[in-house]
Structures are given as structure tokens and as C-alpha cells.
């Protein structure tokens, strides 16, 4: 594993390892509030594409990890798809993931091996 593969976020309390398909990704952190924060993982794409969630031109979001407080999670559950399951929980927080598959053709059909990346998700001690 090389250094670019590893992502650690001490503020949100997790780490993940990315596969070679993710080379060039950028993380975009969004600390929305004390009870809701997220990280978007964005990939480079065609020069004529921009997405506000990536905060840079020519990047498209492919994966996001969101951390909710338990109380915020209860509130969110009333308005989201109830089949969504957290990828991890602590006494205080619930972690969810979102996969984005649309967007520009050069990344829409990519094999980002989401299952391997999500399987590497670990909470920090």
C-alpha cells in the first residue's frame, strides 16, 4: 500500500483504504454542524464538468461518508430510505455511505470497487 491509498480523518474518527482505481481522488470535508458532517471522495473527470460538492472544477463525487450523532440519525431516518444501513456505529455516532454512479461518462462506468473500499472502513480508537 502506498501513502495515497490511505485516508484517515481524525475529526470524524475513521480511516479507509482505497484501491488503485481511486488514484487521483480528493477528499472534500464538510463539517455541516456538530451533529452532521461528511467527506465526499471525488475523482478527476472531463474538463467541461464541475460539481459543487467537490469544490474544484473537473472533479465528480463518487463516494461520501457521513457521520451523524445518534439523535440526528433518528431524525434523518424519518425522511430517508429505511433500507439504508449504517456502516458503523459508536455510542455517540452513526456512519453512513452514499455511492454516486451518474455524471460524466469517463467516470460513470469506472470500476471503483466500492465494496473493497467500504470493507476497509475502520473506526479510530
Q: CA–CA separation, 121 vs 23, rounded Å?
A: 18
pLDDT-based confidence at residue 1 (cuts at 50, 70, 90): very low
The contacts of residue 61 (CB under 8 Å, 6+ apart) are 28, 40, 41, 42, 51, 53, 54, 100, 103
Look-up of cell digits 482505497: 18
Mean pLDDT along residues 99-120:
81
In the chain, where are the structural domains located?
26-123
pLDDT-based confidence at residue 76 (cuts at 50, 70, 90): confident
pTM of the model: 0.88
Is 2's pLDDT higher than 70?
no
Amino acid at each position: 500500500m502506498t501513502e495515497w491509498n490511505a485516508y484517515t480523518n481524525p475529526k470524524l474518527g475513521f480511516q479507509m483504504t482505497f484501491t488503485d482505481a481511486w488514484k487521483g481522488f480528493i477528499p472534500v470535508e464538510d463539517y455541516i454542524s456538530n451533529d452532521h458532517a461528511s467527506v465526499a471522495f471525488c475523482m478527476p473527470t472531463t474538463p467541461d464538468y464541475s460539481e459543487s460538492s467537490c469544490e474544484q472544477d473537473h472533479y465528480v463525487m463518487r463516494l461520501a461518508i457521513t457521520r451523524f450523532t445518534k439523535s440526528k440519525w433518528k431524525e434523518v431516518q424519518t425522511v430517508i430510505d429505511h433500507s439504508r444501513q449504517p456502516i458503523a456505529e459508536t455510542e455517540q455516532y452513526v456512519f453512513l455511505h452514499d455511492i454516486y454512479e451518474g455524471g460524466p461518462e469517463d467516470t460513470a462506468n469506472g470500476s471503483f470497487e466500492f465494496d473493497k473500499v467500504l470493507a476497509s472502513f475502520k473506526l479510530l480508537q
